[in-house]
Amino acid sequence: MSFQTGLSGLNASSRNLDVIGNNIANANTTGMKASRAEFADVVASSLGAGSNGGAGIGVSVATVSQQFSQGSINVTGNNLDVAINGGGFFQLEMPDGTSAYTRDGSFKLDKDGNIMTNSGAKVLGNQIDALGNILVGNAPTPLSLPTSAPIPANATTAIATEFNLDARAPIAASVAPPTPRTTYGTSLTAYDSQGVPLPVTLYFSKVTPATAGTDEWAVYDSPAGATVGSLIFDATGKLTSSTVGSLTLTPAAPSIVPPFPVTTDFSKATQYGTSFAVSNLTQDGYTSGEFVGMNIGENGIITARYSNGQTQASGQIALAEFRNVQGLTPIGGNDWVSTFASGAAVQGTPGQGKFGGLRSGALEESNVDLTGELVNMMVAQRAYQANAQTIKTQDQVLSTLVNLR
């Protein structure tokens, strides 16, 4: 019997050394979770005997459990590297169509713009509709970026301004010579529906007010053109009314784009006793642009950047969590699959509830404590030697009995 007891100890210690060796080998594996061999004693029971009458007959490995503690966050600077700071797993669609989960966020883009793992699995997430709304309620689908074609141009529809007109300026026609119309002017670039830039100029000239107690400035779209409206200010320098409705932009030949209106916003214009100064000019048009890069926010939203300076949300990385993470089965490649023991995956978004936030440009390192594993290895080695010694001692006892004369 002692031979079998010692042999069970050797097998258990050997299995323990295998687990420790695997931990040490994966000390630098991204997102790897350390394992631990857990033992249980084996007791012999006799027929008709109570539970207290059993004798220990060895040891067995009850299970190899995984330790899902947080690994250190290592900054890499690569925007496609993503670490989960907290609970949750990235959701994957494997090449064979099955589902898997990982903590390894070292993602890549393939030739079609799909976000992939090193093992060739597609990263799943929430899609975004044409209005920029995240479709959280739908099942996660593979995430991809529009890298193969440029985003289309967008014609300017609105212009917003923010500037100060000098309250000390005289009425232009009241001085000799009259104040040139170009004294107070500014310009910006708008775009037609084909993305062709169109220069837009605005000139301001102080005129005799139609209402007493106010100051009025005529607005022109060219130095010699007709007025397009006026701005009226009260005694505090605040804008009280604007008659500038919209500007009509006319693309130059040989453009086939017809003239189109652009609304204007002068609500932030002021008239104070300081020099004329433009604080801000904005318009909502842009030319076409090629994909140049991406950023991933803490909430998992993927923002694509384009050469025309525009950014667009392209999706949101989705996370999954399990009631019993110990029930997940590793399948290699830093991936796990769910089982009956783990329960079904609970869907969620980064930073919400029990789900951790994402850190772009960083990776989660292995949670293996290398120093602790080396100590564990020495302890396991001694346990192996001790079990071998029990077999050797039993062999000596048996030899003594056989040699009795």
| pLDDT tens for each residue of 99-143 | 999 999 999 988 888 999 998 999 999 888 766 677 666 788 999
| Residue 101, token pair as written in the block | 């989960």
At residue 46, the pLDDT reads 61
At residue 251, the pLDDT reads 92
Contact 217, 204 (CB under 8 A): yes
Contact 230, 243 (CB under 8 A): yes
| Residue 303, token pair as written in the block | 């923002």
The structure's pTM equals: 0.74
Contact 322, 328 (CB under 8 A): yes
At residue 129, the pLDDT reads 74
Query: Residues 307-313: what's their mean pLDDT?
Result: 86
Contact 129, 135 (CB under 8 A): yes
Q: What is the CATH class of 158-283? A: mainly beta
Contact 30, 334 (CB under 8 A): yes
Strands 141-142 and 215-220: unpaired
* Residue 335 phi, psi dihedral angles, 5° rounding: -115, 155
At residue 8, the pLDDT reads 82
* pLDDT over 70 (residue 405): no
pLDDT digits (tens, 9 = 90+) for 213-231: 899 999 999 988 889 999 9
- C-alpha torsion angle, residues 112, 94, 104, 337 (rounded to 10): 160
CA dist 219 and 281 (Å) reads 16
- At residue 62 the predicted structure's pLDDT band, cuts being 50, 70 and 90, is confident
One-letter amino acid of 118: N
- CA nearest to 272, candidates 236, 310, 315, 312: 236
At residue 279, the pLDDT reads 95
Report helix angle 2-25 to 370-402, nearest 10.
Answer: 160
At residue 132, the pLDDT reads 64
Mean pLDDT taken over the chain:
89
CA dist 240 and 388 (Å) reads 96
* pLDDT over 60 (residue 70): yes
Contact 191, 154 (CB under 8 A): yes
Domain range annotation of the chain:
2-69+366-402, 76-146+291-364, 158-283
Q: Output DSSP code: residue 371.
A: H
